[in-house]
Each structure stands twice: as C-alpha cells, then as structure tokens.
C-alpha cells in the first residue's frame, strides 16, 4: 500500500481553499503556509501549483470567496433604508469577527494578485451592496460617494478595532456600532 498522497481526490480546488480558510482561521494571515495547506488537504506540496500557480493564487481565490460571502451577508440585510444600512454594518462586523483570518486577507494587497479579475469583481460587488444601502438611505438627490466612503471607513475601522481587541469584552458590539452609526447616519433626518 502506497503512503504517497493522491493528487486526484474529488474537488481539489475546493479542498485546498477550505484548508487555506481553516489555516487562516487558526494561524492568521502572517503565519499562512502553502505547504501546511497542502498537508491539510491531504495532497502533495506541489499540488496547489497545479490549480493556483502559487500561494498568492490560492490566497486570491480565498479572498474572492470571502468577498462573495460578505456580499451575501450584506445583501441579506433588509428593512427600510436606515435599518438596512444599520443591519449591513452589523453584518460586516459580524463577518469580520466570524472569519478574522479570511477577512484580514481580503484587504492584504501584498498577499494577493490584486489585478485578478475575479477578485476585483467580487470586491466591487461586495462594496456595491454597501453603496446601495447608503444611496437608499440618502435618497436619489444626494451625493452618495462621500457618505459611502464614510460608511465603509466606519464599519471597516470598527471591525478592525474589534479584531484587535480594542473593546471591552463585556461591550455589546452591535449596540455600540449602532450608536456610532447614529452619529453619522441618524434615524431621523
């Protein structure tokens, strides 16, 4: 019986992506290892190159899938325009906290093939969900670009602060985020 790992075993691309996501969750972006990802997917260390070219290729796919998942989370936030904006902000932060390694990777241009068309499209679509919520909040006659940039900066910064442990463990992050949002995007205008 051979102890050599088999290259072909079902959907290797997905197995490698899942292994990379798990490794990122466990070790974080800085301690990612392509060799360890291959080991966890039970394939040879050279196998990822056949599908992704290199570590940046694999991480780019992981980031693109992260943006796809974030877009779905943002899209599922509903309600009137203000409630939708608030729900998207909470969904954004919850996504970051649930998938910290993948979330941080998504914004690491130095580790990704940032010109990759799939990554660019997935990122743009996720951002578009937030832009749509801001535009809905503002109404058709208001300039949306500065407000969308402000909303994204606010929720991304809040998520990063939460990931960095800058809030007290007893804080209700959802309520705190809503309080912060109400300063910039009040319920009554």
Q: What integer pLDDT is reported at residue 140 of this predicted model?
A: 81
Three-state DSSP class for residue 25: helix
How far is residue 88's CA from residue 94's CA, in Å, rounded to a whole number?
A: 10
Per domain, the residue ranges of the chain are 55-184
> Does the pLDDT at position 1 exceed 80?
no
Q: How far apart are CA 89 and CA 154, in angstroms?
A: 9
> Under CATH, domain 55-184 is a member of which superfamily?
Tetracycline Repressor, domain 2 (1.10.357.10)
List pLDDT tens digits, range 105-151.
Answer: 999 999 999 999 999 999 999 999 999 999 999 998 788 999 999 99
Contacts of 138 (CB under 8 A, 6+ apart): 144, 147
In the structure, what pLDDT confidence band is assigned to residue 5 with cuts at 50, 70 and 90?
A: very low
User: Has residue 174 got a pLDDT over 60?
Assistant: yes
Residue 170 DSSP one-character state? T
Mean pLDDT of the chain: 91
Give me the pLDDT at residue 189, please. Answer: 59
Q: What is the pLDDT, as a whole number, of residue 7? A: 46
- As a whole number of Å, the end-to-end CA separation of the chain is 72
pLDDT tens by residue, 49-77: 888 989 999 999 999 999 999 999 999 99
Taking residues 140-166, report their average pLDDT.
93
């Amino acid at each position: 019986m051979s102890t050599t790992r088999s290259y072909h075993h079902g959907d290797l691309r997905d197995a490698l992506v899942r292994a990379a996501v798990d490794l990122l969750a466990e070790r974080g972006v800085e301690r990612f290892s392509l060799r360890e990802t291959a080991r966890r997917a039970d394939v040879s260390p050279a196998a990822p190159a056949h599908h992704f070219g290199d570590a940046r290729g694999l991480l780019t796919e992981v980031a693109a899938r992260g943006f796809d998942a974030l877009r779905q989370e943002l899209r599922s936030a509903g309600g009137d325009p203000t409630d939708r904006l608030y729900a998207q902000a909470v969904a954004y932060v919850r996504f970051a906290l649930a998938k910290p390694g993948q979330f941080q990777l998504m914004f690491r241009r130095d580790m990704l093939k940032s010109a990759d068309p799939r990554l660019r499209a997935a990122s743009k679509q996720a951002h578009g969900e937030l832009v749509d919520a801001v535009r809905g909040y503002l109404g058709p006659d208001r300039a949306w670009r500065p407000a969308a940039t402000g909303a994204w900066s606010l929720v991304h910064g809040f998520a990063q602060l939460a990931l960095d442990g800058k809030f007290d463990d007893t804080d209700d992050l959802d309520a705190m985020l809503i309080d912060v949002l109400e300063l910039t995007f009040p319920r009554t205008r």
